Amino acid sequence: MYQILAYIKYWLLAMNEHSLHSPFLYSFYTEVIKRENRKGFEQIETLRKTLLQNNEVVLVEDLGAGSRVNNSNTRKVSQIAKHASTPAPFSRLLNRIITHFDYKTIVELGTSLGLNSAYMASTNKDIQLFTFEGSTSIASLARQNLSKLNCSNYKLIEGNIDNTLPQWIENASQVDLVYIDANHKYEPTLRYFELLLPKMTTSGMIILDDIHWSKEMNDAWEVLKNHPKISLSIDLFEAGILFLQPDLMKESYILEF
């Protein structure tokens, strides 16, 4: 019910390019958000279809907010592919964002089956993708999937992100893009943001998935978009985009996607 009400609110408030006056935002919206690109991802989407038909049962060590549809710690791969994987249109948007801004160092919190990882890593072979997954069984599946897709420019960090992320940050260089799709709770979301913020480039971006998944996630989004280091923020319902560029005017938009 919370998501239904959140979507109705989003639908009533969402704007399109005709309401945008900022040249930067207009360009980003028309050339990146709304410019669909279906070609070049056939291999990834063929794999997605295979996963959606895979009835293998795996043990899932869920360290986050859990699943909306299955509270068991055993799940079919098909269920994970259907309910825990990001929809293809948003995965393609991640690819376009990385291409548009020529981002090179990417951090993904929440590898899942590796489909988003493939979309991001396949943008450019010069990209370094660091992807974090808490569940051993899911991490194993992700590695298999990324191998099938011939992805090699990534490092999968396995284990509880509460432990692995701080350890990784100690020796990390600067990061261009962070995609947070892990523990869908208020406190961990804010903590991951604060941990990664000092490593972000000034032209960087943080994308927060499932901002309307629950009231907790919505509250986290409200806090982060008002953070003093954030300039422009965009609510696409599927996710929220946070810009760190200091030359941008501090504004918040709800846009059609």
Does residue 29 belong to any structural domain of this protein? yes
Residue 187's pLDDT is 97
Residue 38's pLDDT is 84
When pLDDT is cut at 50, 70 and 90, the band that residue 52 belongs to is very high
Look at 37 and 216; give whichever has higher pLDDT.
216
Q: Which residues on neighbouring strands pair with residue 144, listed in sequence order? A: none
Does residue 54 belong to any structural domain of this protein? no
Give the CATH number for residue 201: 3.40.50.150
- Where do the H-state alpha helices sit in 41-150? 42-52, 77-83, 88-101, 115-121, 136-148
When pLDDT is cut at 50, 70 and 90, the band that residue 71 belongs to is low
Euclidean distance between CA atoms 243 and 170, whole angstroms: 23
Tokens of 221: 């989004």
User: 144 and 119 in contact (C-beta within 8 Å)?
Assistant: no
Number of alpha carbons in the 13 Å side-chain half-sphere of residue 153: 15
Does residue 65 belong to any structural domain of this protein? no
Q: How many structural domains compose the chain?
A: 1
Q: What is the pLDDT of residues 102-137, one digit of tens each?
A: 999 999 999 999 999 999 999 888 999 999 999 999
Q: Please state, for a pLDDT cut of 70, what percent of the chain lies above it.
A: 96
User: 233 and 240 in contact (C-beta within 8 Å)?
Assistant: yes
Does residue 74 belong to any structural domain of this protein? no
Does residue 60 belong to any structural domain of this protein? no
Residue 81's pLDDT is 94
Q: Is the pLDDT of residue 160 over 90?
A: yes
Does residue 51 belong to any structural domain of this protein? no
Q: Angle 200-205-207 (CA atoms, 0-180°, nearest 5)?
A: 120
228 lies in which domain range?
2-41+86-254
Instruction: Find tokens 């990534």 and name the residue.
Output: 154
Look at 219 and 39; give whichever has higher pLDDT.
219
Average pLDDT over residues 43-69: 82
Does residue 77 belong to any structural domain of this protein? no
Euclidean distance between CA atoms 126 and 128, whole angstroms: 7
When pLDDT is cut at 50, 70 and 90, the band that residue 64 belongs to is low
Does residue 118 belong to any structural domain of this protein? yes
- This prediction has a pTM of 0.93
What angle do the packed helices 88-101 and 42-52 form, to 10 degrees?
150
Average pLDDT over residues 203-225: 96
When pLDDT is cut at 50, 70 and 90, the band that residue 89 belongs to is very high
